[in-house]
Amino acid sequence: MLLKVEVLAWVAMTTTFNLCLGKHAPCRDPSEEDLEAQIGRLAAGYYSLVEKLNIIPDKELKKCPRALNQTSDLIQDRSTSPWSYRVNEDLERYPQRIIEAYCLCKGCFTIPTKEDKSLISEPFFMDVPVLQKTRKCRKGHYVYRLKNVKIAQFCNCH
């Protein structure tokens, strides 16, 4: 009797499992257009500003300069707390790539040619809206939820 119950349970589980595999469509990411529409106006201002400023991330991370570049057109080169930009990448969010600032020096320049290490160069963070991928699947597509992530915008002295 016990053997019959075990066999019936195994058959029921195997059949259910096979039916699920046969009918279950794999979950896919929504289209770029759908994600763009979902994030909409919440992030449009931030991302258009990055494009408008023509911020280009470094291919290789820079090091602290020996002196400030006072003739540069870029504020990050003339700042007492110089910074540059890199790509923050997360394949489980939209957008996957966000440009963020990183500080070039530990200290700050008090005069154009001398870094003062008694001061600290720190990134200034801003909450940026993104869509975070969840494990949920609806109508064959992954569900993304709105989330704020802290992204460094520039560096300042503290």
CATH code for the domain in which residue 133 is found: 2.10.90.10
Output the pTM of the full model: 0.76
What is the C-alpha to C-alpha distance for residues 155 and 158, in angstroms, rounded to an integer?
A: 10
Partners of 95 in beta bridges: none
* pLDDT of amino acid 63: 96
* pLDDT of amino acid 95: 92
Asked whether residue 18 is assigned to any structural domain, the reply reads: no
Give the confidence band of 151 by pLDDT, cuts at 50, 70, 90.
very high
pLDDT over threshold 80, residue 15 = no
Report residue 63: phi and psi, to 5°: -110, 170
Asked whether residue 147 is assigned to any structural domain, the reply reads: yes
CA 5 vs CA 2, 13, 142, 151: distances in Å: 5, 12, 38, 58
Asked whether residue 93 is assigned to any structural domain, the reply reads: yes
Domain hosting residue 79, numbered range? 30-157
Asked whether residue 80 is assigned to any structural domain, the reply reads: yes
Host H or E run for residue 23: helix 2-23
Domain count along the chain: 1
Asked whether residue 67 is assigned to any structural domain, the reply reads: yes
pLDDT over threshold 80, residue 107 = yes
pLDDT tens, residue by residue, 79-103? 999 999 999 999 999 999 999 999 9
Q: Is there a contact between 109 and 80 (Cβ–Cβ < 8 Å)?
A: yes
pLDDT over threshold 60, residue 21 = no
Give the confidence band of 40 by pLDDT, cuts at 50, 70, 90.
confident
CA 29 vs CA 5, 96, 144, 148: distances in Å: 42, 12, 9, 20
Q: Is there a contact between 84 and 62 (Cβ–Cβ < 8 Å)?
A: yes
* pLDDT of amino acid 55: 85
Q: What is the mean pLDDT of residues 124-135?
A: 95
